Amino acid sequence: EVQLVQSGAEVKKPGATVKISCKVSGYTFIDYFMHWVQQAPGKGLEWMGLVDPENGETIYAENFQGRVTITADTSTDTAYMEVSSLRSEDTAVYYCATGGVLDYWGQGTLVTVSS
Amino acid sequence: EIVLTQSPDTLSLSPGERATVSCRASQSLKTSYSSPLAWYQHKPGRAPRLLIYGASTRATGIPDRFSGSGSGTDFTLTITRLEPEDFAVYYCQQYFNSPRRTFGQGTKVEIK
């Protein structure tokens, strides 16, 4: 059974950095890109970017270029998504997702940015 | 960037009724194989769930009351008879320029 298990909720102050993990099991980690998706309060799903776990190459959506870093650790079958210089607008649930048609999703991680 | 526009934003229906959600792409998604368009169901506090891929293929375990159709720029998700558990937000997503993805803004199907 494919499983993506994300790290727990985070509360951060503006200007801080948050790093969320997504540990996979049930499939070969390098077989699929790992995508990240944001859902801000009251908003829809927004694709952020992806990492190719096989070689570490990344692609970012234009809105997330610059402050977002997506990485993968093949030794632990874990993907990471880091957001730096946090702002209140980064308050959101973040999902990792994978599979040929994004058929597998993590449970989501709530990040709250508040002073 | 390919923009997906869904309509309507909100659909108010009763259980047993038919739901039709539209998704229009800013450019044609036509390829030599099936159209690279997927539909997801999203409920509060849950992960999005893949319903349809390739515009019309149901994902594993998805009931046959869910169907997808369309090609080119216009796509439709139909739920033939709404069950109580179908009230949720539905998103289309394109993977024409895979591996990049974009989502539509979502359509909320709510109980009338």
H-helix or E-strand containing B5?
strand B4-7
Average pLDDT over residues B102-109: 98
A51 touches chain B (CB under 8 A): no
pLDDT at residue B1 is higher than 90: no
3-class state of residue A35 by DSSP: strand
pLDDT band at B69 (very low <50, low <70, confident <90, very high): very high
Average pLDDT of B16-26?
A: 98
What residue of B is the nearest CA neighbor of A5?
B47
pLDDT digit string, tens, across residues A93-114? 999 999 999 999 999 999 999 9
Contact A33 B99 (CB under 8 A): yes
Query: Cα(A73)–Cα(A77) distance, rounded to whole angstroms?
Result: 6
Q: What is the DSSP string of B38-82?
A: EEEEE-TTS--EEEEETTTEEPTT--TTEEEEEETTEEEEEESS-
Single out the residue of B104, B45, B97, B25 nearest to residue A45, CA to CA.
B104
Residue B23: CA count within 13 A, CB half-sphere: 32
pLDDT at position B87, please?
A: 97
Whether residue A49 has pLDDT greater than 90: yes
A44 touching chain B per CB within 8 A: yes
pLDDT in tens, B2-12: 999 999 999 99
Full strand arrangement of the beta sheet holding B66-71: B4-7, B19-25, B74-79, B66-71
Its sign, for the CA torsion A17, A22, A23, A27, is negative
